[in-house]
Amino acid sequence: MNEAQVIALAGVFQAAALVRATATSGSQDAAALEASIASILRVDVDDAASAFGGLGNLRLGLEAMVQQLDRSPGDVAISQIAVTVLRVERKLSARPEMLQALRDGIEAIQRQVDHLGVTHSSVLARLSELYANTLSNLRPRVVVQGNPLYLQQPAQVERIRSTLLAGVRAAVLWRQLGGSQWQLLFKRSQVVMLARGMLSRAKLDGA
């Protein structure tokens, strides 16, 4: 397990933590949300951290990952979302036509982002629609539980779907870097150790 793989995996956990927060409280860490959504649009990057605009933008994901993997998870729902996102990505990897549809959709949305910004409601609505038309058709589906007050609001549903799309993007990056679920099972302590070190650096970067 190397740092690049841990960064990509932190992207998955950041998306899971954002989805959980949206579903239960209707609010999100704005900086983390922007970094995760922006990562969807950064298709060609030189290194893993660049996908998120730098290590400092992954503090939420690194914190969530350390907590979830360090034997005493505070909110098991975050791990459940992250693991399901990884499974969805595995199914996606066997569907080249869906991968192409996602690429085409993201390219089309990029033009709107250039005018409106990454987290504009119109951009999130289109990313949500792209998720609904593609990834939500794969099994297992990501089941999001939370407060019905927020889960029934269209704007919050759009944020959740957009963030799940960001989670799958991070999972794709993780697999491209050689990540596998076996590593999560057998190298958990190494992942946590690397993540703790990067979290210290991320806090310095964001200071």
Q: Which two tokens stand for residue 120?
A: 């504009």
Residue at 155: amino acid letter? A
Q: Which two tokens stand for residue 175?
A: 């697999």
CA 182 centroid distance within chain = 20
Domain of 182, in residue numbers: 3-206
Interval 74-94: pLDDT, tens? 678 999 999 999 999 999 999
Domain count, the chain: 1
- Residue 103: how many other CB atoms lie within 10 Å: 11
Instruction: Give φ, ψ of 197 to 5 degrees.
Output: -65, -45
**Phi and psi based region of residue 178 (left: phi greater than 0; alpha: psi -120 to 50; beta: remaining):** left
Instruction: List, for the chain, all residue ranges whose pLDDT scores fall below the cut of 50.
Output: 207
**Residue 94 pLDDT:** 95
**Residue 40 pLDDT:** 96
**Residue 183 pLDDT:** 81
- Residue 75: how many other CB atoms lie within 10 Å: 16
Q: Note the pTM of the prediction, 2 decimals.
A: 0.96
What is the CATH number for 49?
Answer: 1.10.3890.10
